[in-house]
Amino acid sequence: MAQNIMLYWTSGSPPCWRVMIALEEKLLQGYKQKHLSFEKNEHKCEEVKALNPRGQVPTFKHGDIVVNESFAACLYLESTFKSQGTRLIPDDPAEQALVYQRIFETENLQQKLSYVAFYEWYVPEGERLESALKRNKENLITELKLWEGYLEKMGKGSYLAGKNFTMADVVCFPVIAYLPYLHCPKERCPRLMEYYEMVKDRPSIKASWPPHWLEKPEGQDTLKNL
């Protein structure tokens, strides 16, 4: 079954990583894959663009079905393989609503984190402003406080949408993992760090851990002054 699946991905990309976690959780090991170099611009190759005109990763194909956006690919996997592996979307309407809420809130966290962590990559040297970086940091701090509050309200040992590991964790963990990787102070987000420590050794996450993080466990210190 997994042999009908093809995934093009790059190491350390949260969108790619979440699809890989979903594949592991749905017991779809052994799928076909191609690890591309972002630095070498390999994601813009014709092989990828034939399936994904944007030339982006993840590019995901199951049989003749192509799903390229990472949230969509994860939800597709849960829908298609609902009875297999971990149940990632609960049936209870209230629980389901919270999972969907956290899934799509992840985009806010990822964007605000990226604007700080990769500011120098996004903005050319001559256009960088200290005031803009300060504002970006304030926005990220506000966002982190929001997620801290979510975990505080649910209690110690909770996942992002309750007591069970769900699609919310699949899509958001790769973003949260960047906090310790880029040296965010633990005191800035203690509950998120507790969550990170609880989840990081889950088999699906260990199996899909970014290869270059294994070689170099610590990234740049772009979040150290948050």
Per-residue pLDDT of 178-214, as tens digits, reads: 999 999 999 999 999 999 999 999 999 999 999 999 9
For range 154-183, the mean pLDDT: 97
Q: Please report the pLDDT score of residue 15 as a whole number.
A: 97
- Domain spanning 2-80: which superfamily? Glutaredoxin (3.40.30.10)
Label residue 122 by pLDDT band (50, 70, 90).
Answer: low
CATH 3.40.30.10 domain locations along the chain? 2-80
Q: What is the mean pLDDT of the chain?
A: 93
Cα–chain center distance at 108: 12
Q: Please report the pLDDT score of residue 3 as a whole number.
A: 85
Label residue 130 by pLDDT band (50, 70, 90).
Answer: confident
Report the distance separating Cα 20 and Cα 24, nearest Å.
Answer: 6
| Right CATH for 93-215 from 1.20.1050.10, 1.10.1370.40, 1.10.150.120, 3.40.50.970 | 1.20.1050.10
58 vs 1, higher pLDDT:
58
Q: Residue 198 in 3-state DSSP?
A: helix
Report the distance separating Cα 129 and Cα 21, nearest Å.
Answer: 37
Q: Residue 137 in 3-state DSSP?
A: helix
Tens-place pLDDT, residues 64-79: 999 999 999 999 999 9
Answer whether 10's CB lies under 8 Å from 37's CB. Answer: yes
Q: Please report the pLDDT score of residue 129 as a whole number.
A: 72
Residue 31, pLDDT above cutoff 80: yes
For range 98-106, the mean pLDDT: 98
Report CA dihedral (188, 192, 198, 202) to the nearest 10 degrees. Answer: -120
DSSP code, position 29: T
For range 13-27, the mean pLDDT: 98
Q: Which of 120-124, 146-150, 183-187 has the lowest mean pLDDT?
A: 120-124
Share of the chain above pLDDT 70, in %: 95
Residue 121, pLDDT above cutoff 90: no
pTM for the structure as a whole: 0.94
Report the distance separating Cα 97 and Cα 103, nearest Å.
Answer: 10
Q: Please report the pLDDT score of residue 39 as a whole number.
A: 85
Label residue 41 by pLDDT band (50, 70, 90).
Answer: confident
Cα–chain center distance at 208: 11
Q: Please report the pLDDT score of residue 117 as a whole number.
A: 86
CATH 1.20.1050.10 domain locations along the chain? 93-215
Give the contacts of 42 (CB within 8 A, at least 6 positions apart).
36, 48
Report the distance separating Cα 11 and Cα 40, nearest Å.
Answer: 13
Q: Please report the pLDDT score of residue 119 as a whole number.
A: 64
